[in-house]
Amino acid sequence: MPATKTPREIEQPYRARVKPGAVQERHLPGIFGVPSLRDHQIQAIRAGVAGRNVFNISPTGSGKMLSIVGTGLILGGITLIIIPLISLAQDFMRRLREHGIPARYWNSQQTNAYREDTIRMVGEGRTGIFITTPESLRTHTLTDLLIGRVNFAAVDEVHCVEKDKGFRTSFSWLGTSLDKIRCGNRAGFTATLTREDRSRVMDSLHMRNPFVIIRPVARCNLVIHKTYRNPYHLIRILDRHQGESGIIFCATRRATNQLHSQLASSGHNVGAYHGGMKKADREQSQREFMADAKRVIICTDAFLLGIDHPHIRFVVHWDLSASIEAWAQGFGRAGRDGGQAHVYGCFMAARDGIDSRKWLLESGYPSLADMRKVWDYLLERPYTDKTAAKIGEIVLGASSPIIGAAIINSLKRREHNLVKADVDPDDKRKRRYRAIGNFDDVDFDPFFEEHLEILLRFKQLVALGDLPDERIASAIDSYFGDDGQHGEPDYEEFIV
């Protein structure tokens, strides 16, 4: 499997063979090297070409890229694709180049020469795929460049609009950003989303009369098992899948390190990945996994969006996920090639796993008193260059770096807008924080109601562990409203 290209490799020129705007639907199978289009791909492309907003909920590996890019190639002009991670954008670029499709991308890692060349090409009316991140789309340089030039915009991993309200606040601004560049023809793609969340995400993206495509989450090639949360049973799983690629998800960096140390010392060829590792070590670990040098990787959810490995034969959730949709997002990485794959949820005798995840969920919603203390501190000391973790330690004596980050993220949320993070002029990798707004004017009730909803969703996942293995798949589809038992939606649906 080819390794993900570096930014410099992607910036090298290449010859595009496909001319956007001169493509018809019948040309797409040949461009992408597939025998034919699937029904859900045809429906998505035709709706997008007709100018309809499209909301596509399809499992990982169902060919969403073809639906997005196919629509853009038929429409011509610039197709804007918003992807949450730079590593995903780089991999997307690699695949487009393999198919001879013209594409550019824009993010913080690029050279000035490449950015200037991109600005020139867009100004000259060059067409093709334009890839960026939500954060980049909030910059004036990029939005001003794209105003009136984008024929079609697609948001990949659109569930992040609802999921990452505190961590990735730029997702909540995507609807406004797309309005600013005057692109009304827009689409959202994800693998899992509940009916209630669908409506909220559509509203956030300012989608009008969307055409919604829904495919079952628990694909028939996935075999779901409950198992015990102890090393003995985990080693049995690894032995059962010896020589096969797999992922083991943990809730925390500490659990990831501990499990990696245990398995590596017992002779298993495993890698590790989490946000606390040095960037070079993370990238090396990801490259080894993608190249099958390390067959199994132990990771936190930070790894979830950064992989596109089609031959994963098993996924283990060592700690419980935050919700049924988060669990489905994780195990959706298995069996993308259509072959049988196995999903293991360590739900049995999993008190430690339950406690780890619940602590993380509680930490993400700090108390009003703690948020006020941090806001007051930043009001008295504007433009502090201390990290969010250090601020939490100074103000609250918090021993965990998660606490300070959670408070800063909560204050930064769009609906609160109480903290501004400015780029440090001396070190652009750092942020300087300052308090803004008026704390007493903010309505925090929706924030704490959201907290209760998050805990309820976690309880629903825990309850799933009481079901027999053979009933879990249907229960998951029922949870997402994909069993035909729900009421009439307020939008047009195409259920596969």
Identify whether the C-beta of residue 160 lies closer than 8 Å to the C-beta of residue 135. Answer: no
Task: Note the pLDDT tens digit of each residue in 272-301.
Answer: 998 888 888 988 888 899 888 999 999 987
Report d(CA 451, CA 454) in Å as an integer.
5
246-256 mean pLDDT = 91
What is the pTM (predicted TM-score) of this model? 0.77
Q: Which of 71, 126, 133, 136 is nearest to 103 (CA)?
A: 126
Task: Note the pLDDT tens digit of each residue in 210-240.
Answer: 999 988 776 778 899 999 998 889 999 999 9
Identify whether the C-beta of residue 61 lies closer than 8 Å to the C-beta of residue 11. Answer: no
Task: Note the pLDDT tens digit of each residue in 425-443.
Answer: 888 778 899 999 999 999 9
Q: Looking at residue 393, what is its pLDDT?
A: 93
Task: Note the pLDDT tens digit of each residue in 381-431.
Answer: 999 889 999 999 999 997 788 899 999 999 999 889 999 988 888 887 788
Tokens linked to 51? 């100018």
DSSP 192-226: ---HHHHHHHHHHTT--S-EEEE--SS-TTEEEEE
Q: What percent of the chain has pLDDT over 90?
A: 49
Q: Which of 421, 440, 435 is nearest to 379 (CA)?
A: 435
When the pLDDT of each residue in the chain is averaged and rounded to a whole number, the result is 87
Task: Note the pLDDT tens digit of each residue in 63-101.
Answer: 888 999 999 999 999 999 999 877 778 788 888 988 999
Q: Looking at residue 225, what is its pLDDT?
A: 92
All domains of the chain in start order, with CATH: 7-214 (3.40.50.300), 222-357 (3.40.50.300), 364-442 (1.10.10.10)
Q: Looking at residue 278, what is its pLDDT?
A: 87
Radius of gyration from C-alpha coordinates of the chain: 23
Say yes or no to pLDDT of 373 above 70.
Answer: yes
Q: Which of 212, 214, 216 is nearest to 47 (CA)?
A: 212
Residue 494's φ and ψ, nearest 5 degrees, are -125, 100
Band of the pLDDT at 347, cuts 50, 70, 90? confident
35-43 mean pLDDT = 92
Strand partners, 493: 212
Of the CA atoms within 13 Å of residue 296, those in its CB half-sphere come to 26
